Amino acid sequence: MSADRERAVVSGVPTDLLIGGQWRAASSGERFPVEDPSTGEVVTTVADATVDDGLAALAAAAEAQASWAATPPRERGELLRRAFEAVTAQSDDLALLMTLEMGKAVKESKAEIAYAAEFLRWFSEEAVRVSGGYSVAPAGGSRLLTMKQPVGPSFFITPWNFPMAMGTRKIAPAIAAGCTMVVKPAHETPLSMLALARILQEAGLPDGVLNVIPTSSSGAVSEPIIRDPRLRKLSFTGSTAVGRTLIEQSAQQVLRVSMELGGNAPFLVFADADLDAAVDGAMLAKMRNVGEACTAANRFHVHESVAAEFTDKLAERMAALRVGRGTDDGVDVGPLVSEKQRGTVEELVADAVDRGAKVVTGGGRTGDAGYFYQPTVLASVSDDARLLTEEIFGPVAPVTTFSTDDEAVARANATEYGLVAYVFTRDLQRALRVSEGLEAGMVGLNAGIVSNPAAPFGGVKASGFGREGGAEGIEEYLETKYVAISLP
């Protein structure tokens, strides 16, 4: 990928705040850098929103709410459809932009752009399917009318690991339902969200419906918005620790809240599994997004009779992956997002090795510049290793063993998290029994990917609540109103 092409793509993205339909500098005049994690160099700078900017964005959303809620559903749906077509048409540039700010290989960025666009298309079709009900009261004499109405101004805090898809997964249903919004993208990766905002603006989204406020002071800017009585909805994707804080803050206004938080996904391989298919699934579940995904397989529990064979096959596949700058041809694995994140991965691997784990492949840094880490497989991982309880968020696969189905389920559930679990078996009864026994909001059965815009995404326990995507996704942005009609 040429440097000229990279500069051209970056220069085409607005880097100011979007408030009330206007691109403007931060009130302080300050800007913050966006870094290329493959080189450590600054790609560009972005306006650094202040508390005042955040409240101005909320004011713009509140002002636009009534007129946007009154916009016919068909118009809202057609706007989303135009945005879907524009994102699809610009996918090459958007993918390169994402790789420059986040690091993943361009082919993975293209996959995310396609995934992100599908939320726009899915909810363009859902916009016209919002409906209520009408029924006769059981005792007669009156009628029961229910209707669905938009929740109102919403605040979205999106993560750095899927900088566009996590945006469209929130923005698209809000637009379809008739809600206005303020979006605070992660400071590591604001460019994809700013590019998406420009596309939605060009697709005809009215001023004030979408407001974007990148900032390097996330907590300071977010809290006044959350505590403001004009806000009616909060949606956050990120760590459980931050989610708990935001839930506490949201209680003052009794906000509608949806939380997609941390994960610790177990990957169960039973003795009767197709091992080649299980390894294929493991590569998808572990290495998507360099392992920096809440859905990433975090720990591999493999039946003792097939553990050695599975581990060898997985290590062979992991060792064959090409690590490098995501813009280079043939690269499979890009850098981690930051030096801090790479340091966390190193600590977890070192802790596991200190406790007796064997490094089968990988196990260290690679490259002279950027935040690269080798795809790693660890065997003989002890139960007290930190990476079995903490989210790794990197290209590391720890393998442990089990002997019975009950033990496998118990090991899988031995975590405060419950986002997703993966199960590989050819026994239908086992598949159903284990799927029902797992404490997770989603299960990948003989599948290494569960994400689908047409399916409800979300977890249980400390992985959060609420669902994004599917028919359920738009319900997060709708209130149910009941009207009693007397017929004497």
What are the catalytic residues? Answer: 260
Cα–Cα–Cα angle for 370, 284, 87, rounded to 5 degrees: 75
DSSP state of 107: H
CA 83 from chain centre, in angstroms, equals 20
Angle in degrees, CA 35, 39, 44, rounded to 5: 30
CA nearest neighbour of 454 among 437, 436, 473: 473
CA dihedral 112, 121, 183, 245 (to 10 degrees): -70
Half-sphere exposure of 457 (CA within 13 A, CB side): 20
Which pairs with CB-CB distance under 8 Å and at least 24 residues apart come from 429-432? Answer: 430/270, 430/272, 430/405
Query: For the residues of 352-368, what is the DSSP string, one character each?
Result: HHHTT-EEEE--SB-SS
Tell me the CA distances in angstroms from 259 to 96, 236, 243, 445, 467, one per residue in order: 29, 5, 7, 24, 8
Under 8 Å CB-to-CB from 356, ≥6 apart: which residues? 380, 381, 382
